[in-house]
């Protein structure tokens, strides 16, 4: 007949051999898994943004080169002066977790910025932001600089990308 103490000893009483093995396997999996996840994120990008670390503007310094960029969004009106707004203001009606992705898909290229879907969304959005004013569209200008991290000196010319998006005509 087996005693109850024998069953407890065999299946994981704190300090038992089985408990120590399980703890070692868990620690080993974590020690192996974390470097693999970091390597994967560096090579292919974060599969689920902000799961491991939040994204930041610019890029990591590689080969002693750092990049920085700025985005200017100018709202153009049919009459009256234009106004500048931030990306956060333009996209404030979108869930913050999705705003960056939606912005890139709508305004990442001239083709997507000029699409009928973007124009259909942009008109009502600008009407919300600027009630009583007749917006015709927006101009997005992204400038990117590269710097040598050892000296701080700029590398090459500033790259400039302009994308224009018009509102849908009523």
Q: Specify whether the CB–CB gap between 66 and 59 falls below 8 A.
A: yes
**Encoded tokens for 68:** 């920085």
pLDDT at 34: 82
For 58-112, the pLDDT digits (tens) are 556 567 888 888 999 999 999 889 999 999 999 998 888 888 888 999 998 999 9
In 3D, which of 128, 106, 91, 116 has the Cα closest to residue 168? Answer: 116
End-to-end CA distance of the chain: give it in Å, rounded. 88
pLDDT at 33: 83
Q: Specify whether the CB–CB gap between 107 and 140 falls below 8 A.
A: yes
**Encoded tokens for 71:** 């985005």
Is 33 exposed, middle or buried (CB count within 10 Å of its CB: 0-12, 13-18, 19+)?
Answer: exposed
pLDDT at 169: 75
In 3D, which of 114, 107, 99 has the Cα closest to residue 73? Answer: 107
Band the pLDDT of 46: cuts 50, 70, 90: low
**Alpha helices per DSSP H over 45-115:** 87-90, 96-107, 110-113
Which segment of 19-28, 52-61, 98-107, 133-142 scores lowest on mean pLDDT? 52-61
Q: Specify whether the CB–CB gap between 106 and 140 falls below 8 A.
A: no
Q: What are residue 110's phi and psi, to 5 degrees?
A: -65, -35
Domains of the chain by residue range: 4-44, 59-166
**pTM of the full structure:** 0.60
Q: Is the pLDDT of residue 12 over 80?
A: no
Q: Specify whether the CB–CB gap between 167 and 123 falls below 8 A.
A: yes
pLDDT at 51: 55
Average pLDDT over residues 127-155: 91
pLDDT at 59: 56
Residue with tokens 């000029």: 114
pLDDT at 45: 66
What one-character DSSP code corresponds to residue 135?
Answer: E
Band the pLDDT of 158: cuts 50, 70, 90: confident
Residues 6+ apart with CB under 8 A from 153: 147
């Amino acid at each position: 007949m087996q005693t109850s103490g024998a069953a407890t000893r065999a299946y994981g009483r704190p300090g038992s051999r089985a408990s120590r093995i399980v703890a070692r396997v868990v620690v080993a999996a974590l020690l192996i898994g974390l470097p693999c996840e970091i390597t994967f994120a560096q090579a292919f990008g974060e599969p689920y943004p902000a799961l491991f670390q939040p994204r930041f503007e610019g890029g990591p310094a590689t080969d002693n080169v750092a990049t920085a960029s700025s985005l200017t969004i100018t709202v153009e009106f049919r009459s009256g002066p234009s106004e500048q707004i931030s990306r956060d203001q333009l996209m404030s009606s979108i869930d913050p977790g999705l705003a960056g992705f939606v912005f890139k898909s709508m305004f990442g290229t001239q083709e997507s910025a000029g699409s009928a879907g973007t124009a259909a969304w942009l008109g009502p959005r600008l009407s919300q932001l600027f009630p009583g004013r007749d917006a015709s569209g927006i101009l997005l200008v992204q400038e990117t600089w590269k710097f040598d991290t050892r000296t701080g000196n700029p590398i090459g010319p500033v790259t400039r990308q302009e994308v224009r998006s018009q509102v849908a005509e009523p």
